[in-house]
Amino acid sequence: MKYVVVGASAAGLSALQAIRELDPHGDVTVVDEETRPAYSRVLLTHYIAGTVEDRDLFLVEEEFYRKCGVRALLGVRATGLDPDGRQVDLTDGRVLRYDRLLVATGARAVVPGWSAPGAGGDRGGTGETGVTGLRTRDDAVRIRRAALAGHSVVIVGGGPVGVKLACALRELGVTPTLLVGSPRILSQVADREASLILERHLVRCGVRVRCGVEVSEVIRGPLGTEGVVLSDGSVLPGRLVVVCKGVEPRTELVRGHVAVRRGVLVSGGMQTSVPEIYAAGDVAECPDIWGEGTRVSAIWPHASRQGKVAGTNMAGGRDLFPGVLPRNAMDVLGTPFVSMGVLDAPAEGGWRSVSRRRGDSYLRLVIRGDSVVGAVLVGCVRMAGPIQAAIRRGGRGWEELVAP
CA–CA dist 198, 207 (Å, integer) = 11
CA–CA dist 367, 345 (Å, integer) = 7
- pLDDT band per the 50, 70, 90 thresholds, residue 82: very high
Determine the pLDDT at residue 126: 45
* pLDDT value at 123 more than 80: no
Q: In the chain, what are the domains?
A: 2-43+52-108+248-314 (3.50.50.60), 111-245 (3.50.50.60), 334-402 (3.30.390.30)
Which of left, alpha, beta for 331 (phi over 0: left; psi -120 to 50: alpha)? Answer: beta
Share of the chain above pLDDT 70, in %: 95
pTM of the shown model:
0.92
Determine the pLDDT at residue 399: 74
Determine the pLDDT at residue 125: 42
pLDDT single digits (tens) 131-165: 999 999 999 999 999 999 999 999 999 999 999 99
Buried b (16+ CB within 10 A) or exposed e, 147-166: beeebbbbbbbbbbbbbbbb
pLDDT single digits (tens) 335-381: 999 999 999 888 788 899 999 999 889 999 999 988 999 999 999 99
φ and ψ of 363, to 5 deg: -135, 135
Say if residues 109 and 247 touch (Cβ distance below 8 Å).
yes
CA–CA dist 389, 395 (Å, integer) = 8
CA–CA dist 102, 266 (Å, integer) = 11
Determine the pLDDT at residue 116: 63
CA–CA dist 186, 182 (Å, integer) = 9
Q: What is the mean pLDDT of residues 195-223?
A: 94
Distances (CA, A) of 310 to 102, 106, 228, 276: 7, 15, 44, 11
Tell how strand 70-74 and strand 27-32 pair up.
parallel
pLDDT single digits (tens) 171-180: 999 999 999 9
- pLDDT band per the 50, 70, 90 thresholds, residue 205: very high
* pLDDT value at 120 more than 50: no
